[in-house]
């Protein structure tokens, strides 16, 4: 029996200052199975896999690979043991081609040390064919689609003779169709004798692809089950520790007059390519308009154009009857447009500063927070403490640096700052990314509350479930265009998937 266990992590404990990331975790994966590891953000999945891959060292516990006790204290050791990992953030060199990335560090070479590039290309193509996918050996990664980049990452592990593949949230960046293709690849891998660990928090995918599933919460294993003997509901309650409601409670929207009217908007991205191609949309008072789509289809550039962070190339953005296209962010903010940016740590916050300094980012220059350019520290403290209370920011005090907060609490700082200014229009981009379920609910409720109080909301999110649950109308973005407007109550996931892949009807 023992020889059939590919991975056995025994009583793993890992503590970071102030947090126990893994607590007596026991994790077993059988040879040749697809094993899902699920849990919320911060449940300890990533830490556990980093320990297995040699990036982190456990404080306690043992690692057995194929029944043999191993010390994995660096990535190289893990690779030599046949473990390969595809990270959520791809580790590819942009100017290198697929074979150059795949062979990096282990290129075939002759006795003089000269790399045999042709031989490498052939080798890579052969491996790819064996597992049923195609590669273009001359395509640089900077020009490749996300799906191709991901396949390159998988090939990289196979090139290094991995028998155990760890895939960290591999479907987060894929369309439903690309996800299906990935699943086909995973099944082929298992047919060829590989073992796959699949990290995710999407339970539907677990049920579809995995043989067995381990659920983690707060650093501990909550349960291990065979997928055929469990259900999404059961896994969800193990994951969260209570019943989750996947629906957002809200009444039907009662939209009133138009707040924003975008007409034929064209925007270039940083590389000078067209990212937004003739988008038109309108948002009325009292409604939440959602933008769905796989990331990288122009959503970021659209939001940047609306908030003044990026110049527009053509078209108009009419806000309360005034064209604000290519206006400055400060001007736009003055007109009571709030922005919850997609990149919390770089755009949304200054993580080196304290909570209160971040909370007053939009209002510090105004009375009552400052007079004649001097801060009224007492008023700032009152103001910040009130926001901390109102938005349930969990921190001992407001002087704490933002970087020491969890992702969810960081996001609450952003949300508090933005929504406390009584915005007429709120633009929220990926507002719940990296936020745990409890706080996701709170943020969703706040957006609905904004709407019910007579605000207009634009919600841009790559999480299909989120857009469908929160928005009243949804536009699907694909390659810079809104290819379809839908009523989220009237379409199902698979239909949305087709729209997200650019198939219009």
Partner 1 sequence: MEWIEIFDLSIFRSLLRSTAPIAIVGMAAAMCSAAGVLNIGLEGKMLNAAFAGVYASYTFESVWAGFTAGIIAGLLTAALFGLLSFTLGADEVLAGLAINIFALAGTTYLMRTIFGQAGFFSDPRIVGFEPISVSFLRGTFLEPFLSDFTYSVYLMFVLAILLHTVYYRTRLGTAIRATGENPEAAEDAGINTVRIKWMVTVFSGLLAGISGIFLSLENLTMFTEGMSAGKGYIGLVASSFGNNTPFGTFGASLFFGLGDAIGIRLQGVYELDSRLILMIPYALTVVVLILIGIRQRLRVRPVPITESSIE
Tell me which residues touch partner 1 (CB under 8 A): 75-76, 79, 87, 89, 91-96, 100-101, 104-107, 109, 113-115, 117, 156, 266, 268, 270-274, 277-278, 313-314, 481
Q: Which of residues 35 and 156 has its CB atom nearest to partner 1 in the complex?
A: 156
Give the contacts of 63 (CB within 8 A, at least 6 positions apart).
7, 8, 9, 10, 12, 51, 52, 69, 70, 71, 72
Q: Is the Cβ–Cβ distance between 39 and 65 less than 8 Å?
A: no
| Closer Cβ to partner 1, 55 or 353, answer by number | 55
Helical (H) or strand (E) element with 197: strand 195-200
Nearer to partner 1, 157 or 307 (CB): 157
Where are any strands of DSSP class E within 253-402?
258-268, 274-284, 288-292, 314-319, 322-323, 337-340, 370-371, 374-375
Q: Whole-number minimum distance, CB 75 to partner 1, in Å?
A: 7
Q: How many CB atoms lie within 10 A of CB 489?
A: 8
Query: Whole-number minimum distance, CB 241 to partner 1, in Å?
Result: 34
Rounded to the nearest whole angstrom, what is the least distance from the CB of residue 272 to partner 1 in the complex? 4
**Token output for 261:** 């009217």
Calculate the alpha carbon distances from 385 to 202, 389, 410, 416, 442 in Å. Answer: 36, 6, 15, 11, 19
Which distant-in-sequence residues (6+ apart) come within 8 Å of 76 by Cβ? 54
In whole angstroms, how close is the CB of 164 to partner 1 at the nearest point? 16
Please report how close the Cβ of residue 340 comes to partner 1 at its closest, in angstroms.
28
Instruction: Give least dist CB 46 to partner 1, A.
Output: 15
Specify the residue, 41 or 152, whose C-beta has the smaller distance to partner 1.
152
Token readout for 93 is 């060199």
- Quick one: 315 or 341, whose CB is closer to partner 1? 315
401 alpha carbon, distance to own chain's centre: 24
Can you tell me whether residue 18 is helix, strand or coil? coil
Q: Which is nearer to partner 1, 10 or 268 (CB)?
A: 268
- Our CB check for partner 1 shows the closer of 123 and 381 to be 123
Q: How far is the CB of 479 from partner 1 (least distance, A)?
A: 8
């Amino acid at each position: 029996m023992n020889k059939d266990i590919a991975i056995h992590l025994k009583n793993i404990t890992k503590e970071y200052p102030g947090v126990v990331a893994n607590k007596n975790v026991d994790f077993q994966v059988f040879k040749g199975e697809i094993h899902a590891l699920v849990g919320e953000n911060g449940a300890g999945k990533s830490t556990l896999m980093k320990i297995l891959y040699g990036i982190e060292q456990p404080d306690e516990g043992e690692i057995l690979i194929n029944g043999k006790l191993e010390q994995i204290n660096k990535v190289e050791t893990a690779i030599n043991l046949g473990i390969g990992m595809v990270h959520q953030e791809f580790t590819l060199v942009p100017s290198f081609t697929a074979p150059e990335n795949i062979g990096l560090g282990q290129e075939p070479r002759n006795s003089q040390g000269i790399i045999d590039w042709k031989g490498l290309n052939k080798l890579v193509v052969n491996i790819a064919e064996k597992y049923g996918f195609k590669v273009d050996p001359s395509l640089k990664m900077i020009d490749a689609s996300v799906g191709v980049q991901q396949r390159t990452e998988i090939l990289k592990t196979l090139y290094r003779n991995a028998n155990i593949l760890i895939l960290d949230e591999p479907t987060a960046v894929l369309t439903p169709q690309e996800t299906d293709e990935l699943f086909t690849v995973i099944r082929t891998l298992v047919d060829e004798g590989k073992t796959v660990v699949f990290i995710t928090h999407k339970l539907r995918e677990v049920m579809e692809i995995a043989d067995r599933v381990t659920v983690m919460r707060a650093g501990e294993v909550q349960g291990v089950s065979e997928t055929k003997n469990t259900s999404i509901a059961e896994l969800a309650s193990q994951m969260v520790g209570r019943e989750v409601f996947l629906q957002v409670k809200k009444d039907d929207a009662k939209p009133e007059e138009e707040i924003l009217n975008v007409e034929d908007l064209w925007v270039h991205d940083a590389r000078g390519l067209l990212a937004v191609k003739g988008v038109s949309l309108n948002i009325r008072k009292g409604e939440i308009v959602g933008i769905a789509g796989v990331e990288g289809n122009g959503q970021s550039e659209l939001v940047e154009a609306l908030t003044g962070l990026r110049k527009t190339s053509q078209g108009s953005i009419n806000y309360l009857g005034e064209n604000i296209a290519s206006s400055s962010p400060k001007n736009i903010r003055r007109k009571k447009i709030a922005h919850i940016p997609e990149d919390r740590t770089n755009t949304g916050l200054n993580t080196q500063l304290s909570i209160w300094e971040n909370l007053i980012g939009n209002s510090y220059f105004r009375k009552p927070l400052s007079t004649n350019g001097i801060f009224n520290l007492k008023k700032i403290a009152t103001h910040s403490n009130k926001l901390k209370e109102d938005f349930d920011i969990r921190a001992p005090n407001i002087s704490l640096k933002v970087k020491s907060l969890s992702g969810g609490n960081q996001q609450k700082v952003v949300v508090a700052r933005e929504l406390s200014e009584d915005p007429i229009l709120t633009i929220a981009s990926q507002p719940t990314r990296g936020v745990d379920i409890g706080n996701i609910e709170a943020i969703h409720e706040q957006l609905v509350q904004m709407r019910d109080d007579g605000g207009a909301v634009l919600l841009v999110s790559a999480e299909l479930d989120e857009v469908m649950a929160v928005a009243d109308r949804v536009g699907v973005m694909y390659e810079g265009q809104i290819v379809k407007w839908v009523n989220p109550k009237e379409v199902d996931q698979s239909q949305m998937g087709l729209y997200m892949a650019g198939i219009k009807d």
